[in-house]
Structures are given as structure tokens and as C-alpha cells.
């Protein structure tokens, strides 16, 4: 599991993550191959739809506009599968982004915590930790095997370049 940048006490008060303005949002979590299979195999996990591009399909919010991750318990704002929560969810507010044939580590400044801390020493230290982690041979191989995780997010801030082999890009 990846060390988290945003503390649980902050996350649980926020109403930003796991909510989407449209059903086919690039922000909906994309799963690694192994995660897709785990979600399908595990008993006791709420049924979810996984799209052909391995995204968790959001469901409509009955009393409001928009969509929500089916794995979010909206009463307590907690993930129903936190011990298994997807790699992309563990990374957030950091994202793996494809731009101009480069694979970048970016940050979503729509996360209030990230926006308030991005220029702090805490964020700089975390970016070094996360870059080292993602640039490790094991993680680079995982990314190479799961290109669906590398997305083209807009309106994010670039923080580091990842060392993926050219054929992965």
C-alpha cells in the first residue's frame, strides 16, 4: 500500500473524491488487471460494473445531480473496500498522466488539501517518495503491464517525470 499524502481525518470531511459530474469521467478509478479480478472474485464486496477500459462505473446519485463511485459509503464518506482500494485511489490526489509522449506524475489541485500544501516541504518530500516508488523496477513493470492507468488528465499540475521505457509511452 502506498503511503498516503492526505490524512484520513481530512479526507473523511471532504466531499470531493469519488464523485463525478458525468458517468464516463476520466476521474473514475481505472483498475489494474489484478484489481479487476480481485473485485470480481471477492465475496462480500458490493457488485460493481467494470467497463471495457477497466474503469469502475459510477452510479447516479438519486437525490442530486451527478454520479458516485459504487464503493463509496456516502453515509460516512468511507470506501467500502478500503483495505483493497485500487492503486489509482491510493495515489490520489496524484495521478499518472500522459502528455506529449512523456509519462508524468501530476497532482489534482481540486483536492483542497493538495492545493493548500503543494508548495510545502511536506509535498516536496512526498513527491520524492512517490517518484522513487513509481520509478522502482517493480512499479515500472506494473505500469508497463497496465497502460490503462496512464491517462490524459487535464487541469493538473506536473510534478515529476517517470522513467517508463519508450515503448510504454
2 domain residue, yes or no: no
Q: Distance from CA of residue 89 to its chain's centroid?
A: 3
Domain-ending residue, one of 38, 68, 84: 84
The distance in angstroms from the start CA to the end CA of the chain is 25
Residue 80 sits in the same domain as residue 101: no
Residue 39 sits in the same domain as residue 66: yes
Q: Give the integer Cα–Cα distance in Å for 155 and 39.
A: 30
168 domain residue, yes or no: no
Q: Give the integer Cα–Cα distance in Å for 101 and 5.
A: 27
How confident is the model at residue 166, as a pLDDT?
44
Burial class of residue 130 (count of CB atoms within 10 Å of its CB; 0-12, 13-18, 19+)? buried
Residue 36 sits in the same domain as residue 16: yes
Task: Output the pTM of the full model.
Answer: 0.88
Residue 74 sits in the same domain as residue 124: no
For 8-64, what is each residue's pLDDT tens digit? 889 888 888 899 999 888 889 999 988 888 887 776 666 678 888 888 899 999 888
- Structural domain for 109, as ranges: 90-163
For 96-152, what is each residue's pLDDT tens digit? 998 888 899 999 999 999 999 999 999 999 999 999 999 999 999 999 999 999 988
pLDDT, greater one: 164 or 132: 132
Amino acid at each position: 500500500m502506498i503511503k498516503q499524502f492526505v490524512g484520513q481525518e481530512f479526507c473523511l470531511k471532504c466531499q470531493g473524491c469519488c464523485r463525478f459530474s458525468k458517468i464516463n469521467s476520466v476521474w473514475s478509478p481505472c483498475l489494474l488487471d489484478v484489481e479487476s479480478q480481485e473485485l470480481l472474485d471477492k465475496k462480500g464486496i458490493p457488485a460493481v460494473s467494470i467497463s471495457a477500459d477497466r474503469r469502475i462505473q459510477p452510479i447516479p446519485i438519486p437525490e442530486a445531480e451527478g454520479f458516485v463511485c459504487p464503493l463509496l459509503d456516502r453515509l460516512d464518506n468511507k470506501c467500502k473496500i478500503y483495505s483493497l482500494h485500487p492503486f489509482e485511489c491510493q495515489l490520489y490526489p496524484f495521478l499518472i498522466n500522459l502528455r506529449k509522449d512523456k509519462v508524468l506524475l501530476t497532482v489534482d489541485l481540486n483536492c483542497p488539501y493538495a492545493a493548500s500544501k503543494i508548495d510545502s516541504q511536506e509535498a516536496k518530500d512526498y513527491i520524492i517518495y512517490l517518484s522513487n516508488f513509481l520509478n522502482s523496477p517493480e512499479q515500472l513493470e506494473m505500469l508497463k503491464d497496465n497502460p490503462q492507468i496512464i491517462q490524459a488528465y487535464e487541469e493538473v499540475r506536473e510534478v515529476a517525470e517517470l522513467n517508463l521505457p519508450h515503448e510504454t509511452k
